[in-house]
């Protein structure tokens, strides 16, 4: 497994600026519905529970559980070639939302994960999810 290669450089835009700013500080930013309080994925523009349309940024604990995963052996695009093989999966945050993310360590259903932050020389900082149990 190639757990040390970084993603191709990412750039923030107006919708992702707060997420990447938090990542640069080693914090995981998610959204929270200002109407019902439900925690939402970082990309949420509306609440999937009550339909509230003004989710606000908040900090998440960075703890999660591995739901499912796959290991990529053939790069889907040449820019990913230096990374293969790598594992991506679905992480259920302790706060509830699910994220699609890179997984490092030995994946196992139900494994405890924690967010660690990568600060590449080029592009934005971002979280990767490390298996912390069952190794």
- In sequence order, what are the residues at sequence separation of 6 or more whose Cβ sits closer than 8 angstroms to the Cβ of residue 45? 15, 53, 55
- At 108, is the secondary structure helix, strand, or coil? coil
- 35 binds Zn ion per the rule CB under 5 A: yes
Structure tokens that stand for 135 in this block? 């190794």
DSSP 8-state class, residue 35? T
Range in contact with Zn ion (rule: CB under 5 A) among 14-22, 31-39, 84-92, 100-108: 31-39
Residue 56 found at the interface with Zn ion (CB under 5 A): no
Nearer to Zn ion, 32 or 102 (CB): 32
Residue 28: closest CA among 95, 104, 110: 95
Q: Is 49 in the site for Zn ion (CB under 5 A)?
A: yes
Q: Considering only CA atoms, which of 114, 131, 112, 104 is closest in space to residue 60?
A: 114
Nearer to Zn ion, 38 or 102 (CB): 38
- DSSP assignment, residue 34? T
In angstroms, give the least distance from the CB of 112 to Zn ion: 28
Nearer to Zn ion, 35 or 106 (CB): 35
Nearer to Zn ion (CB atom), residue 49 or residue 92: 49
- Residue of 1, 36, 54, 81 interacting with Zn ion (CB under 5 A): 36
Rounded to whole angstroms, how far apart are CA atoms 43 and 113?
A: 20
Query: What kind and span of H or E run contains 89?
Result: strand 86-93
Q: Is residue 27 a contact residue for Zn ion (CB under 5 A)?
A: no
- Closest approach, Cβ 36 to Zn ion, in A, equals 3
Site residues for Zn ion per CB under 5 A? 33, 35-36, 38, 47, 49-50, 52
């Amino acid at each position: 497994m190639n757990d040390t290669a970084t993603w191709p450089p990412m750039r923030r835009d107006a919708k992702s600026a707060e997420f990447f700013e938090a990542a640069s500080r080693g914090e995981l930013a998610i959204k929270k519905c200002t109407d019902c309080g439900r925690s939402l994925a970082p990309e949420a523009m509306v609440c999937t529970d009550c339909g509230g349309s003004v989710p606000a940024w908040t900090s998440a604990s960075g703890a999660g559980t591995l739901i499912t995963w796959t290991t990529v052996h053939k790069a889907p695009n040449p820019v990913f070639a230096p990374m293969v093989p790598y594992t991506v999966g679905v992480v259920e945050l302790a706060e509830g939302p699910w994220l699609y993310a890179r997984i490092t360590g030995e994946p196992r259903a139900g494994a405890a994960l924690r967010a660690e932050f990568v600060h590449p020389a080029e592009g934005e900082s971002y979280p990767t999810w490390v298996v912390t149990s069952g190794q």
